[in-house]
Amino acid sequence: MKKKAADVDRVFHALGDMTRRAMMERLSRGPMSVSLLAEPFKMSLAAVVQHLQILEEAGLVKTEKVGRVRSCRIESAGLDSAANWIGARRPEWARRLDRLEDILTEKGK
Amino acid sequence: MKKKAADVDRVFHALGDMTRRAMMERLSRGPMSVSLLAEPFKMSLAAVVQHLQILEEAGLVKTEKVGRVRSCRIESAGLDSAANWIGARRPEWARRLDRLEDILTEKGK
DNA sequence: CAAATAGTCAAGCAAATACTTAAGTATTTG
DNA sequence: CAAATACTTAAGTATTTGCTTGACTATTTG
């Protein structure tokens, strides 16, 4: 159940890029095809696909090709491993505050 | 209270580098001087300081110079903004599971 | 079945990044 | 006060990265 360091590395490296984070942002609102995903970006489709590959290798995105269209969606495994890494490095008192905040927010919602 | 996109960018960019994450890992076990922090890395002290600057600009590390030694420690502001970004993009069901896990873990400790 | 669609692949280039070396500045310490 | 310590600064190099272009492969659609 332990995550390998190399996996965490891929995840953070992938999220280290502005464009790739924007793609995650887009995909977090629902799955879509490669060309629809690429639409708002001022770059070639090939470039978008290259970013997509990096996200996929990091376990942040899962894609599936049906016919001639490849559908992309967020895979939470990657984001989970990033969240865990951060959680483990944050000082204990900060984590406690978060938990408090979670509880308070729960009520508000 | 809202975080600027540029701030989140700096944080993820900073954490996107292997060496810088290793530094965070080291600092998460407690504050230390620059040269002690640099010790396990096979690179010049100057290179370590450059990484340190990036971490500091991202709000991930705070440093203070006393006499001739600069002391470094983790600052949770940066990690918080990264955690928030991830939390916002993870599908809702994943976040709920996390909260459940938190509650369960609380008992175990 | 021809044209359009949706992506794939590979080579190459320019900018960003990580790292080095070398010389310099404060601050201890013997 | 001289030597050692703990960085600091600047300039240059080499690698990595993001992106482009152009040619190519499937899969629809009219």
Per residue in A21-40, pLDDT (tens digit) is: 999 999 999 999 999 999 99
Close Cβ partners of B32 (under 8 Å, ≥ 6 residues apart): B26, B71, B72
Q: What percent of chain B has pLDDT over 70?
A: 84
User: Nearest-CA distance from B28 to chain A in Å?
Assistant: 5
Nearby residues of B57 by Cβ (< 8 Å), 6 or more positions away: B10, B14
List the alpha helices (DSSP H) in chain A: 5-15, 18-27, 34-38, 45-57, 76-89, 92-108
Query: How does the average pLDDT of chain A come out, rounded?
Result: 88
Q: How many residues are recorded in chain B? A: 109
CB-proximal positions of chain D, under 7 Å = 5-11, 17-22, 26-28
Report the sign of the C-alpha dihedral through residues A75, A79, A81, A87, in that order.
Answer: negative
- Does the structure show a pLDDT above 90 at A93? no
User: Which residues are within 8 A (CB) of A81 and not within 5 positions of it... i.e. 6 or more apart?
Assistant: A3, A7, A8, A11, A59
pLDDT(A109) > 50:
no
CB A80 within 8 A of CB B94: yes
pLDDT at residue A106 above 60? no
Give yes or no for a contact between B59 and B46, defined as CB atoms under 8 angstroms apart: no
Q: In what order do the strands lie in the sheet with B69-74?
A: B32-33, B69-74, B61-66
Regarding predicted confidence, which is higher, A2 or A16? Answer: A16
The whole-number Å distance from B72's CA to C29's C1' is 24
Q: Are A14 and A20 in contact (CB under 8 A)?
A: yes
Enumerate domains of chain A plus CATH numbers. Answer: 5-108 (1.10.10.10)
Contact, B107 CB vs strand D, < 7 Å: no
For A59-70, how does the pLDDT look when each residue is reduced to its tens digit (9 = 90+)? Answer: 999 999 999 999
- Measure A44 CA to nearest chain B CA, in Å: 23
Q: How many whole angstroms separate alpha carbon A27 and alpha carbon A6?
A: 24
To the nearest 10°, report the CA torsion of B18, B54, B41, A6. Answer: -10
Q: What is the mean pLDDT of chain B?
A: 88
CB contact under 8 A, A12 and B9: no
Q: Which residue is nearest to nucleotide D25 (CA to C1')?
A: A68
Instruction: Choose among A70, A78, A77, A85: nearest CA to A14.
Output: A78
Specify whether the CB–CB gap between B81 and B11 falls below 8 A: yes
